[in-house]
Every structure is written in C-alpha cells, then in structure tokens.
Amino acid sequence: KQEVTQIPAALSVPEGENLVLNCSFTDSAIYNLQWFRQDPGKGLTSLLLIQSSQREQTSGRLNASLDKSSGRSTLYIAASQPGDSATYLCAVAPGGGNKLTFGTGTQLKVEL
C-alpha cells in the first residue's frame, strides 16, 4: 500500500526566504506526482505535475523535482510571499491506475 509523507508538517518563514518542502513515497511504481495548494476551507489548486519520466517541472517561483528511485520529491519556493501561505499537498498516481494517494501536507506560513 502506497504511503506518502510530507516533512515538515508546518513551517513558518519570513517573507523573501527560499524554502523547500519535502514529499516521500514508499512505492516507486508511480505514474506521476502532483503538488497542490489548499487554502483554508477551500479545494485544491494544482501547482505542478511531474511525470515519472521527468526530473523536474517549473512554474514561476515554483520548482518541483522528482527522484522516483528514492521515492522523493521536493517543492522549492523562491522568494516566498505572504500570499504563499497555505497548505501544500503532494499526491502520487500509481502506474496503471488513477487513484491518487495524498501526502499528509505541509502548512506554510510566510510572515511579513
């Protein structure tokens, strides 16, 4: 059974800092990995999707990397802003399937 863990569970940083969120998964037979953002009481916004054959994806200040063999992904946020405050979730899609397994989430707070 796939298990997805995110570290840290919570993070508080001053505005402007670069930061890294971590996601690890136990079964490396994934099809892709996706990073989402969730604001309090809201649904999910997809940030980046990395196919299993890719090593990284970039969108603006966000960069996600994937090391499938070691079961790890990182989300790098450059020059953090208060508007980045949210919970970040990673999710993996299995090879040959369509059911996502979500990580435990990292609650990020960027302070002025």
Partner 1 sequence: GAVVSQHPSRVICKSGTSVKIECRSLDFQATTMFWYRQFPKQSLMLMATSNEGSKATYEQGVEKDKFLINHASLTLSTLTVTSAHPEDSSFYICSAELTSGGSYNEQFFGPGTRLTVL
Q: Which residues of the chain form contacts with partner 1 (CB under 8 A)?
A: 31-32, 36, 41-46, 49, 89, 91, 93, 98-105, 107
3-state DSSP assignment of residue 1: coil
**Distance in Å, CB of 100 to partner 1, minimum:** 7
In angstroms, the CA 57 to CA 108 distance is 21
Nearer residue to partner 1 within complex by CB, 18 or 46: 46
Cβ neighbours for 2, distance < 8 A, ≥ 6 positions apart: 25, 26, 27, 30, 92, 94, 101
Could you tell me the smallest distance in angstroms from the CB atom of residue 79 to partner 1? 27
Give the residue with the Cβ less far from partner 1, 89 or 108. Answer: 89
